[in-house]
Structure 1
């Protein structure tokens, strides 16, 4: 284990010394913070103005569904025309949409008006995380550092889910119900414009020419479709936890600890992500994904029965610890399945799946909380992960197309060339997948 940690540390150090990495890492970190603030900010604002978790969940869900449907199109356009061309108009539309949503909510506009504005607000959400991953892939190619980059990005994502909800909740409960969304819009605008300005590090544009192969959508890859289902389940955990924790803390008269509890949950996710990068895995990614999902489903089982705040924090921490291995492994797998020309699109499909699962879970958990009490919303993460786990088990053969030469070559690139490892060792590692 000591050697594994040592290797990991040198790997992270080498990763962060990649030429040009910091030029997109810092702006990307700022630009992705609002992603974790949007849905919780909507829930807190709309619930404050309407008094209904169901209504708040419906508006939040509409935003998430719109994000999920348009994110892959954004990724496809970024692959074809460049990330800057997509980001610049996107952040402007998003900031305008958030401003309109705040105005309508404070004016007690009807639900249909809130839903109408939620559509462009979600559709224009900048997909900075997938764009950063695409930049890593363009920089590193088939380098053994790619799994380290996947772990690093997962940790960065989860750090935003620690900071974002806590910040949004503190602003909404301590200053004004709209303060969380105002901060989200400002950060999106500032961070998105700074990230778009980093033109040198963006991946090459893949325009189809007369002599090129026909463009293939990432969605045509069977393994990507399976991973989308898996990430729907992860989204169900995020959405169900957000709404259910909000309802639970409101019910016990301590709304201020909502952000703390969600931060503990997201903090477990972040810690697990760091640990995943510190382990020299001998088990293949498919098996790791299945094990991680089984553990996640088990961890979500007791949530609905917990009535104590400390115990809920402890169970939430365990749930968070089980998410990162599934996320990291999923992103690692998709890199081996999809060609560079569709890579940003593939990452946005997974991000969109999380958003769609989060939206559906927010709606379901909100309805359950309104009708059957705050704890009943915690059944949603359990149902989402259990269904996704069953699909993964049934379709696991699609996660690594061994029969495809391209798939075998891509998988071979992912096996680290450790000192003294020969061809037989690499073949054994591929077999474990």
Structure 2
């Protein structure tokens, strides 16, 4: 084996390890950027391929930046606090998990998984404390649903945007095919959570009287609804949905600036530029690994066809790969290998890379962000417990979601 075959793999493992461990609080990009430069420098990836990777990831990164700003502005307007207050008033401690599942699923689908991780997770901490409930089941629900509940819309996840482009489906048809798998996977997750955390859920303290809930920010909700309509309209005319997200962010951003509730610097910080750079650098490192043997090796493992067994096999390979190299690189690797199989095969990959990452910390970027939020609240996650929960939830959720997709393809057509 040559250095161009070995070194990219070593660098990828180093990048993912740094992203998971984050030694000395370093941003993920600290290792990823030099690794990307090194694989280019040694010729493991050509400049043309690196440029092509950057061009492919550019719209995805732009969309992520716009959605992060949009979610930050929703937080400023009190949308997430209103959700938390509604939970505290509408649900008894024993029903809080169901409420968290409902709100997290909707927020993930509409505002993308990053909003659930970055903004809803702190609200869930506060709400659980207000209600005298143990926070662990509800906080774990945020990270699981940021992955599983991101199946519904093309804009719910970075992986969805890439799969959407490869599928050839319209926005509405994509959502129609994924609606049943989305519901089935969430229901399976909920059943596992109820059993796995049965002691925590039964140990809630007495309900404390919640404060008067804040008013629902109507203007913000209307803007979000208009942005969602914009996603559908831009898709119909072949325009990148990032422009709709940018429009929504501009409307709320200008309003917040005029009202002096934020600053330009705060909005720039909300884009999480170091994290965006990490995503780009990670994509280049992964492309180097693919160009030097991984793509050919995986080509022999991917089942052909769109029958039930083939869909299960594709989803299983995608789930395993997501946990080995992270879900965003995994979808970049797998889509070219399954695109010829049509929308069914592409969506099966999406099921694997969105549900599968609930098994390990390194499985998705969302889980890495979630761990950072927990540490800000002086809380950390037990690796053994996280993995045991994943070993129970992932296989069940993945199988029922693939069955639902298979049924949807037969009823709706791919």
TM-score, length basis structure 1 = 0.31
TM-score, length basis structure 2 = 0.32
